[in-house]
Amino acid sequence: MDKRVLRKEILEKRASLGKEVNSSLSKTIVNKLFNSEYYKKANTIMCYVSFGSEINTHDFIKESIKRGKTLAVPVTFHEPRQMKPSQILSFDELEPGYYNILAPKKECIRYIDPKEIDLVIVPGAAFDREGYRIGFGGGYYDRFLANLDCMKISIAFDLQIVDKVPREKHDLPVDIIITEKETIFTNKNL
């Protein structure tokens, strides 16, 4: 199946969950993430800021800051298509940015060295059991993750798990996928 067709199909299913079901499942999934050893051991975490029908990461970000984690969110650049991690000290430091996704206000940008990151929470539209994902078409995360040696976890609704996603040679798998129903260890070395 074509990436665009699969992305559209899964995003429509995700959107059809509705706000109440999304909120309930998001809490379940995020709590599983909080209880994972990889989260507990991580000092510096990079997490996407959710929008639309994505699993809600806003409370995850707020709680991680409260727990004393160094929390970074992506700052994206349209040309060249890249992103950099910026530490935030409070969720209030965010405002609508590129694609209307919350990002740090200019005066609150504190870039960190990506090598400091212990754990990245990677977004996606669809995932397979080998950890490959279909993102949102920009390639930002694939380029960013290519130079990182840290734990990569995706959080997804069970309906986002498919048999196989189309792959290209630059695509990188995540190590773990956490859904409301299961935790999928894709990296056999864990």
pLDDT in tens, 25-77: 999 999 999 999 999 999 999 999 999 999 999 999 999 999 999 999 999 88
In a domain, 189, yes or no: no
Per-residue model confidence (pLDDT) at position 100: 87
Domain count across the chain: 1
- In whole angstroms, what is the distance from residue 153 CA to residue 184 CA? 10
pLDDT digits (tens, 9 = 90+) for 123-170: 999 999 999 999 887 888 989 999 899 999 999 999 999 999 998 888
Per-residue model confidence (pLDDT) at position 80: 83
Say whether pLDDT at 79 is over 90: no
For residue 27, the domain's CATH number is 3.40.50.10420
pTM: 0.95
In a domain, 162, yes or no: yes
Residue 142, judged by CB atoms within 10 A of its CB (0-12, 13-18, 19+), counts as middle
In a domain, 11, yes or no: yes
In a domain, 190, yes or no: no
Per the structure, the complete domain to which residue 168 belongs is given by: 3-184
Range of lowest pLDDT (9-13, 53-57, 59-63, 97-101)? 97-101
Sheet holding 119-121: strands in order across? Answer: 82-88, 70-77, 44-47, 119-121, 151-155, 176-178, 183-185
